[in-house]
Amino acid sequence: MAEIIQKGGTWVFDGDALRLTPGRDRNVSVLRQELGELVVPLRALAGISFEQGRRSGRLRLRLRDGSDPLTYATGGRLAETDDPCRLTVEPDRYGVAEYVTDEVRAALLLRGVPGTPVSEYLLPGPPVPLSVSAGDGTASFDGERVRLEWNWKTEEVKAAGGPRTLALADVLGVEWQPAAGLENGHLRFRVRGGPARTRAKYDPDAVELWGFRRDPLMALVAAAVQARLPHPSASAVPEAAEADHDALLRRLRELGELHRAGVLTDDEFTTAKRAVLTRM
């Protein structure tokens, strides 16, 4: 088992999964606190890296495309402080961070985990029911319906329609966009038969966000809904399977080179090769 404990959180790797637990430090973001512990199975990882810095370092996980509904719904736009796949490392723990990195990389190699996209979510979405108030409204999701309610800051033309209830079966997609510069953000739902797309401040299927502290929590609503929608790559399964096969062939070549170079023992090479061939 490999473990690293920092103010921002604790990462524990048991050979099958990484358990990411947010720290109790006051600087830990409200999103990480609300998301809680996250278990990332090894097969959801495309890689891990550790970067040293003068004052602090960074552990970073790279997930396989399509494996995480939160990453997909936010389009990679989460701030680093909100991203559960990032951990700040103090200089006196650089050696531990390098050890964790080496252990995860070795497991990825021996298990023959490809870095290719997946056709199903390997991480769960946030638990429901879930309700978040931010910007010009409140978004709630119970697993079957999304409800949008407005507050006194909502534009009159949007509030005039009253609360909006969206059946999950009618939701085609969801996106979360943070406020950036002079541009406001939003949590937006694409709905079958919904109104024409317009700015979030006028869109009855969107909550407008202004860059305040609770805005990132709307990303949890987006992820919870996304996790219960059909996987976005479902229509591209043949292409994904072909790409996966090519990746496995490359993995076999890499294993052979590592074995010839003496990096892998005979037993390690046999185990890793068997895992790759089983996947093929």
Q: Could you report the per-residue pLDDT of 129-178, keeping only the tens digit for each? A: 999 999 999 999 999 999 999 999 999 999 999 999 999 999 999 999 99
Q: Could you report the per-residue pLDDT of 220-229, keeping only the tens digit for each? A: 999 999 999 9
Considering the chain, what is the average pLDDT of its residues? 90
Alpha-carbon distance of 186 to 20, in angstroms, equals 27
Q: 166: which 2 tokens? A: 């969206």
**pTM flag (> 0.85):** no
Q: pLDDT tier at 256 (50, 70, 90 boundaries)?
A: confident
Q: pLDDT tier at 237 (50, 70, 90 boundaries)?
A: very low
